[in-house]
Structure formats: structure tokens, C-alpha cells
Amino acid sequence: MLMTLAVVVIVSAALVGGAAWGVWGKLPARWEGFLIALAGGALIVSSMEELVRPALQSAGVALALGAVGAGAAIFTLADWLIDEKWNSSGGGGLLASITFDGVPENLALGVALIGAGPMQIAALAGSIFLSNLPEAAGGAKQMGEQGNSKKKVLLLWTGAAALLSGAAIAGHVLLSGAPEALLGAIRCLAAGAVVASLATEVFPQAYSEDRHLSGIATALGLCLAAALAQLGGGGG
């Protein structure tokens, strides 16, 4: 349980730290875009190696792929509601997207900690950390530019971090005795949400800020996560 708490604190701290960076930091937009793309590339590999691939063995192809599709559909619907129906754009939309995406993602993180080895945990947690940090920075910066006070922005992102921490702990505690097929389906549900968020939020933002270098950053992130996955035994 101590390992779970440590990982949850580290991953969630990325949201608070990223928000503080966005409110007070002065990193150029192109570097922010580069880091976001780097994190996105890492998260592609980690989602496949640490979430989907193990689930294919425990849950079966049909259930695993169905859960991936369901996760993508749920995130897409939430993202559409945020953008089209709730008139939330910019930093607020990104905060909402990270929260909707992060609940299943962190639930799966808690599940992934059940019986996982240290390097497997490091690969997934590290990729989520890298993804959360620049996304939170960009969202908090936009919220500040929209007239929100620094205190309010930081409180909102801290609240999101607390919610996602609760999801990870709940996933670990409540599902520790669940069948492997169910755990695999939950991991794939999260993977689908992650992939959808990368396509609709992460990579478009990275490209808008860093243009063509975002492609190189994505490839570097993919290589970094692949190396971590290899050290961890590829999630198996």
C-alpha cells in the first residue's frame, strides 16, 4: 500500500506542479509544445505495453478491444460535451478533459499496481507524470490569461489532483480481489480514453505550439517509454 500511495502522490503532484509552472513559469510556448508531444509519445507506448497487452492475455481479444473502444467513446463524448454544449474552452476545457480522462486512467493505474513489478509501475507512472505536467502547465496558463486569479487556478488543479488520487487508491483497494478479466477490461477502458485524449487534446496542442518539431518529440517520447517497457519486461 505504501508503494501505491507513493506512486499516486508522485503522479498527482504533476498536476499541481504543472499548474504552478503555468501560473508563475515563463517557459516558451515551443518548449511547452515539445514537452507535451514527448509525453504523448511516451503515453502511447505505456498504454499499449502496461494496459492493453496484459489485458489481451487475461480478458481476451474481444473484451479487451471492446473496452478500448468504449473508453475512447466515453472520452470523446465527454470532450464533445465540454467543447460544444458547456462552452468550456481553453484552460478550463483542458482541466475538464484531464479530469474526465484521468479518472479511468488513474483507476487503471491503481489496478496496474496490483501484482506489478517495480519497472512496470515506473513505466506507466512515469508516462502519466510526463503527460500531466505540461498539460497542467498549459491549461493553468490559459486559465490565468482568461482572467482567473492565480489562487483560484491552483485550487482548481489541486482539486483535480485530489480527485484523481482518490480514483487510483480506489482502483487499488476496491479491485484488488477482482477477476483478471475484469481488471483487464478496466485497463483497456482507460487505454481507450488515453488514446482519444492524445488524438483530440494532446497532439493538437503540441503541434499548435511547436509545429513540426512535435513529430520529433513524439518519436523521442515513444523511444523513452519503449526503453522503460523493455526494462520492465514489456508489461508481461
Tens-digit pLDDT profile for residues 47-73: 888 789 888 988 899 999 999 999 899
Report percent pLDDT > 90 for the chain.
Answer: 11
What is the structure's pLDDT at 20? 92
What is the structure's pLDDT at 234? 46
Lowest mean pLDDT among 162-171, 178-187, 200-209, 226-235: 226-235
DSSP string, 49-102: IIIIHHHHHHT-HHHHHHHHHHHHHHHHHHHHIIIIIS---HHHHHHHHHHHHH
0.75 cut: is pTM over it? yes
Rounded Cα distance, 113 and 4, in Å: 7
Q: Return the residue matching grid coordinates 509545429.
A: 211
Displacement of CA 63 from its chain's centroid (Å): 22
Rounded Cα distance, 46 and 59, in Å: 18
- Dmax over Cα atoms in the chain, in whole Å? 49
**Between 193 and 126, residue with greater pLDDT:** 193
Sign of torsion over alpha carbons 234, 46, 182, 117: positive
Burial 105-116 (b: 16+ CB within 10 A, else e): bbbbbbbbbbeb
* Domain residue extents for the chain: 30-231
* CB within 8 Å of 65: residues ≥ 6 apart: 188
With cut-offs at 50, 70 and 90, classify the pLDDT of residue 235.
Answer: very low
**Between 202 and 103, residue with greater pLDDT:** 202
Rounded Cα distance, 106 and 140, in Å: 21
